[in-house]
Structure 1
Amino acid sequence: MPGTSVLSDIRIADMTTVIFGPYCTQTLADMGADVVKVEPPSGDDFRNVGKSAKNKHMGPCHMTINRGKRSVVWDMKSDEGQEAIRRLIECSDVFIHNIRPDAVARLGLTFEEVKAIKPDIVYVHCLGFGSEGPYAGRPAYDDLIQGLSAATSLLPKVDGNPRPRFIPTAFADKVSGLHAVYATLAALRQRDRTGEAVHVEVPMFECITHFLLEEHFYEAAFDPPVGPFCYQRQVDPCRQPLQTANGYIVIAPYVDQRWVKLFEVMGAPEELKDERIADRRGRFFNMDYMMERVQHYFVNHTTEHWLKLLAEADIPAAQANDFPDLQDDPHLKAVNFFQRREHPTEGGYWETQPPVQFVGQPQREITPAPAIGEHTDDVLAELGLKKD
């Protein structure tokens, strides 16, 4: 198991499924925690998302989000399963789950019941909605939370197509998972101070609404409002990658002097004699016209040409990558972000390294994602239970 990495003395009893909770526990496992993933006999449904390389229930999404964890299979409706989860909780620091309140009550795993088993437990409940509101207990998925939180209203503001659309990544699940990470770590700190149990609720709806309104409350945050919702620069249709002769590039000349320098770099300072973009105010209010002129020049040369000139002029810029480009990115190569590994049953696969590094501290050697119930016998033995 983990050596002396930062969370090597923490054990987590994990009954989360799909993305929200497992993304949290993946991050904690990356930091060295011993995460014991408790699964039903059929396994976590997320095991079957995407095509497996060799064996059933070992899909690509499972291979990433459940790395570094141990898997046990216990039937929570059986006496043996109930005894096993209680014994695991007794010797764990954290119990985390995303079971709806009515179901968790039927299992006898509410906060008060778990605290009776382990008086200093950190109890983390990954919810769709906070328990005090009228939505409490409702099922929640990334799509539902994107809709409720107004995330689906953002793309229409950019392109004028009024139909609400999802942001094409499970961002509600993953952002909520990161909230669960810091909440778990803070709760462990509180437990260490007081010696008492800590009950944490991490509701997706509130997490994502908070996340979006950091900037998108915008001028409507005043009472009375002084302007609209949405940070206007972020929903400006002009805020798009620029086409070059061989791809796309992203530029960020967001200080006005850099806009002036950009036209010099393009060899077109005379463009700024146009009264529409001749001064700072004009450039701000006529951004659409200015970006049309920039695009007119950029399409005539390659991405590499522009990156070189912009770097020399100290204008922030980057290539607009597609996913296949990432494994060839020189920075990601230099930091060994991608590593090819061998799974004991699935063969070769690529893995991304944890993005956060604790400099000068031992790093955990991350174990491959487990097969269903791969560690059941080992964990039962550790708990002093004999497998039936």
Structure 2
Amino acid sequence: MPDTHDSSSAPEKQRSAAGSDQPRGVGGPLSGVRIVDMSSVVMGPFATMIMADLGAEVIKVEFDRGKVPGDMMRYAGYSPDGKRGPIYMALNRGKKAVTIDASSDEGKAQLTNLLKDADVFFHNVRLAGMKRLGLDYDGVRAIKPDIIYTHCAGYGAGGPYSKRQAYDDLVQAASGFAALEAERSGGDPAYAPSLIADKTVGLFATYATLAALFHRERTGEGQFVSVPMFESFTFFNMVENLYGATFASGNGKLAYTRSVNPRRRPYPTKDGYIAIVPYIDAQWERFFEIGGRPGVFDDPRFSTYEARTQNTGELYAIIEEVASTKTTDEWVIILAEEQIPAMRYNSMEDVLADPHLEAVNFFESRQDDVLGEYRSMQHPVGFSVSPARAGEVPPAMGQDNAILDKD
């Protein structure tokens, strides 16, 4: 069963997901850090959006030519101006945007000027292409010797895939993640209905960049940071799923038995669904007593943590039977009183009106002169001294080109 975390003892300023009670006049923890960002689509922009929320100045560099000028995510989904779609809006708030043709002499000069004052150069362009432009690590280090050069690669250097392209679907398939659905259902493999590889590896790129900045703060040294998507997501996937192949003496069966069990899902109630996760023995026993099934833990299949792990399917089947005896509201009230971990199942639409998220102002309605009213999410992590903040409206293409004229 999963570990749990109780945030009830955290200071109030840290506990609010939206940070509504945090002071806004203080710069974030990355205040003063400048990031020149040539990444696009999802993985890279997700990482640099987080760093922008943390106070970094992020300058988004786009190439304003061709059939799809700039970041293609500008055009994914409806937007009032046709160039700032929903996913682009979620990934690019709080950034500045400039258009540069890095293949031209003028563009190289403009980019060089930006890099002279940069702390981080961040991109997901193939290194061979960057070398042709003189923007490989050695080229950029010649401009700014202590630069943190973060490259989001598809695959690590030295392997047979190193020159291949990488996308979310490809990495879900190659990492074994798509196989988990086949393991669970006994049917076909499937991709998760989320850009989970892109977003997960974006988090890897975020922490890697921050770690390199920390090293530079202590030593003065810049460095090249490579974040390979395939290896990073395989690492993420295999933390629990290496399982029976961990030890030479193990049974060799991969995938954590609990997570791939077909009954691991919200349980049907009389009128909907609910998530229930009793954790300690006393919670399990009390849950079954409430549900009219006392004595379940007398069964040796369920009497210990190890036994329950080995017989998860049978245990979940009993939970399903018990859950169906009451309405969702009845279960929510009873289980809260008994301090048995449970949460109401939310549809995607329900999440927008979730009472907890409303109380912490997680979703925020904003207004823009061009885009009109739009919905944004507050930064979820709280800092008591240097709060993060959800940045301003994502930039129109080239809206900050004036900074390119500065010496």
TM-score with structure 1 setting the length = 0.92
Aligned residue for 1:291?
316
Q: Does 1:222 align with 2:234?
A: no
3-state SS of the aligned residue for 2:101? coil
> How far off is 1:284 after superposition?
5.8
Deviates further, 254-263 or 337-346: 254-263
TM superposition shift of 1:158: 1.1
> Which amino acid in 1 is paired with 2:78?
K
Where does residue 166 of structure 1 map in the other structure? 191
Choose which of 34, 37, 58 in structure 2 pairs with 1:14: 37
User: 1:375 corresponds to which residue?
Assistant: 400
Change (3 A) 1:151 1:278: closer
Residue 227 of structure 1: how far off its partner (Å): 3.8
What is residue 64 of structure 1 aligned with on the other side? 90
User: Following the alignment from structure 2 to structure 1, what is the Cα–Cα distance between the partners of residues 118 and 307?
Assistant: 62
In structure 2, the partner of 1:182 is 207
Q: Which amino acid aligns with 1:239?
A: R
The separation in 1 between residues aligned to 2:300 and 2:369, in whole angstroms, is: 64
Q: 1:224 deviation in Å? A: 4.4
CA contact (8 A) 1:102 1:137 kept: no
Percent identity between matched residues is 42
2:58 maps to: 35
Aligned-pair CA distance for 1:336: 1.1
Runs of 4+ in 1 over 4 A off after TM superposition: 270-273, 275-287, 362-365
CA distance in 2 between counterparts of 1:283 and 1:12 reads 49
Counterpart amino acid of residue 26 in structure 1: M
Question: 1:177, 1:282 → 2: CA distance?
Answer: 37
1:303 matched to 2:328? The reply is yes
- Cα drift, residue 62 of structure 1: 0.6
Compute the RMSD of aligned alpha carbons.
2.0
Structure 2 contact 377–390 (Cα < 8 Å) conserved: no
- Kindly provide the amino acid, as one letter, of the partner of residue 135 in structure 2: L
Question: More helix by proportion, 1 or 2?
Answer: 1
Are 1:246 and 2:233 counterparts? no
CA–CA separation in structure 2 for the residues paired with 1:284 and 1:35: 46
Distance 1:79 1:322 in 2: 52
1:240-292 Cα shifts (integer Å, max 9, x gaps): 2110122110111133332221121113326678x686855876655444433
2:139 maps to 1:113? yes
Q: How does 1:1-388 map to 2 (within 5 A)?
A: 4-41=27-64, 42-52=69-79, 54-161=80-187, 163-269=188-294, 279-280=303-304, 287-364=312-389, 366-377=391-402, 379-381=403-405, 383-384=406-407
Distance in structure 2 (CA, Å) of the matches to 1:9 and 1:278? 55
Shift in Å at residue 219 of structure 1? 2.0
Offset from partner CA, 1:38-97 (integer Å, 9 cap, x none) = 001111011111111x11111111111011100001112211111111110111100001
CA distance in 2, matches of 1:146, 1:365: 29
Q: Is the 8 A contact 2:47 2:206 kept in 1?
A: yes
- By how many angstroms is 1:108 displaced? 1.1
Residues 15/225 of structure 1: CA separation in 2 closer, same or farther (3 Å cut): same
Q: In structure 2, what residue type is equivalent to 1:15?
A: M
Question: C-alpha displacement at 1:148, in angstroms?
Answer: 0.8
Offset at residue 195 of structure 1 (A): 2.1
Tell me the secondary structure at the aligned position of residue 200 of structure 2: helix
Q: Tell me the SS of whatever aligns to 1:22.
A: helix
Asked if structure 1 preserves the Cα contact closer than 8 Å seen for 2:257 and 2:309, the reply is no
Which residue identity does 1:232 align to in structure 2?
T
Contact 1:5–1:362 (Cα < 8 Å) also in 2: yes
Give the superposition deviation at 1:301.
2.2
Mapped partners of 1:338, 1:268: distance in 2 = 41
Q: 1:229 to 1:193 in 2, by over 3 A?
A: same
Cα shift at 1:143: 0.7
Letter in 2 for 1:46: M
- Given that 1:96 and 1:123 are in contact with CA atoms closer than 8 Å, whether structure 2 keeps it comes out as yes
Change (3 A) 1:92 1:285: closer
Question: What's the secondary structure of 1:38's corresponding residue?
Answer: strand
TM-aligned CA deviation for residue 16 of structure 1:
0.2
1:293 deviation in Å?
Answer: 3.7
Deviation string for 1:223-251 (max 9, x for gaps)? 24444111111111221211012211011
Shift of residue 196, structure 1, vs aligned partner: 2.6
Whole-angstrom CA distance in 2 between matches of 1:194 and 1:47: 39
Describe the SS at the equivalent of 2:141.
helix
Residue 109 of structure 1 deviates from its aligned partner by 0.4
The residue aligned with 2:15 is: none
Cα deviation 1:131-166 (Å, max 9, x = unaligned):
2222112111011111110001001111111x2110
Rounded Cα–Cα distance in structure 2 between residues aligned with 1:365 and 1:271: 48
Q: Kindly tell me: are residues 191 and 324 of structure 1, through their superposed partners in 2, closer, same or farther at Cα, counting changes over 3 Å?
A: same
CA distance in 2, matches of 1:3, 1:74: 32
Kindly indicate whether structure 1 or structure 2 has the higher relative contact order, using CA contacts under 8 Å at least 6 residues apart: 2
23-32 vs 282-291, greater mean Cα deviation? 282-291
CA distance 1:283–1:81, change in 2 (3 Å): closer
Q: C-alpha displacement at 1:13, in angstroms?
A: 0.4
TM superposition score normalised by structure 2: 0.88
Unaligned runs of 5+ in 1: none
